[in-house]
Amino acid sequence: MVDIQRSPSVARRKKIKRAIYGAAALVAIVLITVAVSRLKPAAPTVDRATVWVDTVKRGSMVRQVRGSGTLVPEVTRWIPASTQGQVEEIVLRPGAQVKPDSVILVLSNPTLEQAVLAARLDLQGARAQYENQRATLTSQVLSQQSVVAQTEAAYRQAQLQYEADAELAKQELVSSIQLKRSQSQAEELKNRVDIETQRLKILKDGIDSQLAPQKAEVDRRQTMYDLQQKLLDDLKVRAGITGVLQQVPVEVGQQVSPGTNLARVADPTVLKAEIRIAETQARDIQIGQKASVDTRNGLIEGHVARVDPAAQQGTVGVDVKFDVDYHNYPRGTRPDLNVDGTIELERLENVIYVGRPAFGQENSTVGLFKLTGNGEAVRVNVKLGRSSVQTIEVLDGLKPGDQVILSDMSAWDAFDRIRLS
């Protein structure tokens, strides 16, 4: 076999080609590496059925706040014990319809019964003394009236004698001395009549003042007796108002002291709702604002009647008074029923709004996923304004017609876009 010697130019051209191919491959590898490094990570896929999508709207938005609470009667009366006693009988149980004179329970107090008897005897004694003193004074007045009558009779007789002597003296049938004696006697009796009449007047005028101490004692004894008798009557505990008996927090045989609550009676025809609102949402609540209360069996319209001046445990108490009477309440409406209340704060006109997202407070900026129309959603910053129970005002970042995801998307915080399947 004979070796064929190759030309040096041919070998050189082959080396140049290999160098060119190697450089091209290296450049391609570098370009591919750079391109791959600049690619965005693949968007995660989210099941559309698991997210809540809402459409941004423009129009009227009603601002509302919501809270839970209970129905309570506006007229409630606790009946306390007036005196110490022992529960002998519970006549009525909670739920019973009562009237003002309905007896709920009966107490006993033997000491009080003895006190009433003693007070009655003291009153009778004081009355007897009063009547005795009045009889004595009346007798004195009658005696003085008799004296006045006798003196007046003697005076009239003396006056007649003086007049007769005066006529006889004109005829000189009676001496002047006799006439003066008759005149003097008549004048003396006239003075006695005036004195006895004045004495009678003093006796009459002094009756009330002399009877005053006895009358005061009678009144004092009467007051003591009435008080003891009232305490004895209060041993029969009565409702005092028309309504429904709600509680009887005592048992038969129990000893109670004055002031112990024995029963609670409420008027079920006039109810109100006591709602607790989160303190962060209660700053705009004002008396008179419209409200509605959900009893689970229907809604009752009303208005805000009172707002607690201070928060307790992160909530503010609000009283809602109903605008309808008892006959228009939903069936099953009764005191202590758990309810939900919604208060209308204001109505905003011509604003952009959307459903309230899972995370997003009013007057804040949040990131929401906006649907792009090609099966994807991209994160956008949205500036929020005033909020309501289910909606919130959009100040910037969205326009009417945009669709956004309002569900909790915290699991995809690391991504700026997602794909919806």
Instruction: Please state the domain count of the chain.
Output: 3
Q: Does residue 104 share a domain with residue 115?
A: no
Query: Is residue 20 assigned to a domain?
Result: no
Tell me: do 411 and 303 sit in the same domain: yes
Between residues 185 and 118, which one has the greater pLDDT? 118
Shared domain for 303 and 406, answered yes or no, is: yes
Question: Do 295 and 365 reside in the same domain of the chain?
Answer: yes
One domain for residues 414 and 294 = yes
Whether the Cβ atoms of residue 294 and residue 120 lie closer than 8 Å to each other: no
CA distance 311 to 195: 83
Given this model, what pLDDT does residue 159 score?
Answer: 86
Residues 190, 316, single domain; the answer is no
87-127: pLDDT as tens digits: 999 999 998 999 999 999 999 999 999 999 999 999 999 99
Alpha-carbon distances, residue 94 vs 81, 105, 116, 203, 266 (angstroms): 18, 12, 32, 64, 11
CATH code for position 91? 2.40.50.100
CATH number, domain of 400, equals 2.40.30.170
Q: Mark whether 395 and 413 lie in a shared domain.
A: yes
pTM for the predicted model, two decimal places: 0.59
Helix (H) or strand (E) holding 57: strand 57-73
CA torsion sign for 229, 232, 234, 238 is: negative
Q: What is the CATH number of the domain that holds 229?
A: 1.10.287.620
Is the same domain home to 358 and 280?
yes
Indicate whether 2 belongs to any domain: no
Both 279 and 376 in a single domain? yes
Q: For a pLDDT cut of 70, what percent of the chain falls above it?
A: 92
Would 13 be classed as within a structural domain? no
Domain co-membership, 283 together with 322: yes
Whole-number pLDDT of residue 118: 93
Does some domain include residue 351? yes
Residue 175 belongs to what domain range?
110-233
Provide CB contacts within 8 A for 326, sequence distance 6+.
268, 269, 270, 271
pLDDT of residue 332: 86
The Cβ of residue 261 has, within 10 Å, a number of other Cβ atoms equal to 14
Task: For the chain, give the percent of residues with pLDDT over 90.
Answer: 46
43 domain-assigned? no
Q: State the Cα–Cα distance between residues 213 and 129, nearest whole angstrom.
A: 10
Residue 380, token pair as written in the block: 């956008």
Clarify whether residues 259 and 292 are in a common domain: no
